[in-house]
Amino acid sequence: MSDILFTNARVIDPSQNMDCVCNVFCKNGKIAQIGKNTVFENARQIDASGLILAPGLVDIHTHLRDPGFTEKEDIYTGCAAAAAGGVTTLCAMPNTNPTCDTTETVQYILEKAKSAKAHVLPVAAITMGLHGETLSDMDALAAAGACAFSDDGVPVATANLMRRAMEKAAALDLPILAHTEDKSLSGKGIMNQCVLAEQLSAEGIPNSAEDVGTVREIALLMNAPVNTRLHICHVSTKGSVALIADAKKRGLRISAETCPHYFMFTEERLAAKDADYRMNPPLRSESDRRAIFQALLDGTLDAVATDHAPHTVNEKSDFYKAPNGVVGMETSFAASYTALVKSGAMTVSALLRRMSYVPAQILGIDAGTLRVGARADLILIDENALWTVDVNALHGKSKNCVFKNCTLQSKVKMTVLNGEIVYDELTKGNE
């Protein structure tokens, strides 16, 4: 493990309210020193002039498809994509095969991730097989290394099961990551319920499917143990935003995320019947998009995640039959920067806070910070770089990228994990 001295960087660390030009010294995989006059002759020196040096991003919501669906993605390729996008820590959702509902699967993920290019935190299933019938052994899964619990991909089938899961998760001091959806309302819908859906003869998903699901989880939280930690996944509707804002005003321990596509795109993207723009929840109306955008600015929505969901080209070839999901880890920061920072709506420090420190705090993990003694997980960003997303240049196995062919501003030029360079577009090309 080599020591690295980054010089002349604009160091932004929201966890310490830091934004200044200085040097950062990494030793033995840790942040050892930050200062303007830091010099170490034996360290590898990297001139970061004109670049932002920030904590590695924490993506609280991804699907690595491993085990069981490795034709779409695996832990190694998923983490390579993460590194290329500046993500150094990610949560892997449990809808794999087998489902992450046993200690053996948790251990498999952790073991395989030891040699990957990002820290992988397994999210364990709330119910066995995600079937919504029997609670998993949450005690054993937590002891094995699960970071949170979720049935993401589907909602927990009944309110009573979710109530019991909240009680158990609270006793373990781990968060519930809730997929809020009422399946009786969403049915077999494949896009937002709107005029365009009617024109395409596509079954629609109404806003109420998400809003009713959000209401249920908040109602359960109101009656749950006071230390229950509820996190609402992939918020897409103005109704859910209002419900979450009200819950926060009531002092409930709730957090929420959205994804870049929900504050950048609308249902109109589906007019060409391209399944790469299909995900669940779906792209919504312009008024929903504006509400999501504003909720990120005012703090109602705490974090930006990706819901990175790889599928093969063949699976995505039929608009009406394709599975839901889009890949996003390589584009998440640049897309968010383009929409939020370039537009002047948000500072780059505020964006980094929502993509690093805050997700780490939601999970209760030691990440998303550059404080001395922390793991040397960091990124270098060229905020002036303009690049066009070429799906054939992505590092993951799948190409179902919602930002394909988009020109974005800002680019991660280097990613460092535990003091080791795992992505390098700055000094010698990609590693």
Q: Measuring CA to CA, how many Å separate 139 from each of 121, 157, 172, 318, 400?
A: 16, 21, 7, 42, 36
Closest of 31, 24, 17 to residue 377, by C-alpha: 31
To the query of whether residue 307 is one of the catalytic residues in this protein, the response is yes
Q: Are 55 and 13 in contact (CB under 8 A)?
A: yes
Residue 17, class by beta-carbon neighbours within 10 Å (0-12 exposed, 13-18 middle, 19+ buried)? Answer: exposed
What number of other Cβ atoms are within 10 A of residue 359's Cβ?
28
Q: Measuring CA to CA, how many Å separate 115 from each of 39, 77, 188, 431?
A: 31, 11, 39, 14
Closest of 47, 48, 46, 45 to residue 382, by C-alpha: 48
The two tokens of residue 407 are 């020109």
What number of other Cβ atoms are within 10 A of residue 324's Cβ?
17
Q: Which amino acid is located at 288 in the chain?
A: D
Closest of 402, 384, 386 to residue 394, by C-alpha: 402
Q: Which amino acid is located at 353 in the chain?
A: R
**For 68, phi and psi rounded to 5 degrees?**
105, -30
Using H for helix, E for strand and C for coil, what is the string for 305-363? CCCECCCCCCHHHCCCCCCCCEECCCCHHHHHHHHHHCCCCCCHHHHHHHHHHHHHHHH
Please list the residues that pair with 372 across neighbouring strands.
none
Residue environment code for 131-147, b if the CB has 16+ CB neighbours within 10 A, otherwise e: ebeebbbbeebbebebb
Please list the residues that pair with 292 across neighbouring strands.
none
Residues in the chain: 431
Q: Measuring CA to CA, how many Å separate 258 from each of 28, 235, 283, 287, 299?
A: 35, 5, 12, 15, 12
151, 307, 377, 382: the catalytic one is: 307
Q: Which amino acid is located at 152 in the chain?
A: D
Query: Which residues are tagged catalytic?
Result: 307
